[in-house]
Amino acid sequence: MFRYLLLGGRGELKDYIISLLLVLPIVLFSLTIHECAHGWVAKKLGDRTAYNLGRLTLSPAKHLDPIGFACMLLFGYGWAKPVPINSRNFKNPRRDMALSAAAGPISNLLLALAFVLLFEISNAIALQFVEQIFANQRLYYFVSLFLLFFQMGASLNVMLAVFNLLPIPPFDGSRVAYVFLPSKWYFGIMKYERYIMLALLVLLWTGILTTPLSIISDLILRGLYFLVELIPFFG
């Protein structure tokens, strides 16, 4: 969104401000739920590290990573401050680490599904009063923003889930990959975490990585809308 503005997009400044006001609460809420999901599952599996450090909270201030937050706004793909997990507290460290890691992206997919449902319900209601809505310019504008908010919520949560499932450190996908990779390979890759992050930022800025991620995200999002529209109420 902002990359287009920074590179000289011709859109109205008002549109970008409105988009920002819609995106900010979605990003803050989604990143917070993502990290809380990690900590909650870890706690259920025996590791209370995140809980003891006060990370099982819905306060965004406890979870935000400045660079990850900026990337989420700029590119639609980002991350939060990782919840600390001590695998020594797990009965089955490899399996439980993977489950704790997967909890974040799964929570975002569930949030995306919730946003899709809210969009479809709101859209169905709006269609019942379409004449009144079109007759009132302010009401039409309000309803349009309302529906756009739900669409953006679904889209951003799918993007967040897909991005964090990349099998590279420090993302959740790397912890899931730990189950399948030999420990020697896994920790060998982890040594290059800083360099991988720098390369990732370059790939995001140049758009090389955003294209394949966008394709995958779009397919998943279409799938969610398809599933919801199978419900008779929306058919």
Whole-angstrom distance, CA of residue 228 vs CA of residue 226? 6
pLDDT in tens, 121-146: 999 999 888 888 888 888 998 999 99
Residue 50 pLDDT > 60: yes
Residue 6 pLDDT > 80: no
Q: Is 118 exposed, middle or buried (0-12, 13-18, 19+ CB in 10 A)?
A: middle
Residue 2 pLDDT > 50: no
pLDDT in tens, 62-82: 888 888 888 777 776 777 888
Q: Is 215 exposed, middle or buried (0-12, 13-18, 19+ CB in 10 A)?
A: exposed
Residue 12 is among the residues annotated as catalytic for this protein: no
- How many domains, the chain? 1
Annotated catalytic residue within 35, 120, 193, 229: 35
CA angle 61, 210, 225 (to 5 degrees): 80
pLDDT in tens, 182-231: 666 566 666 666 677 777 778 777 778 888 889 999 999 999 999 998 88
Give residue 177's domain range: 2-234
pLDDT the model gives residue 185: 59
Residue 11 pLDDT > 70: no
Whole-angstrom distance, CA of residue 114 vs CA of residue 105? 14
pTM for the whole structure: 0.85
How much is the mean pLDDT over the chain? 84
Confidence of residue 5 (pLDDT cuts 50, 70, 90): very low
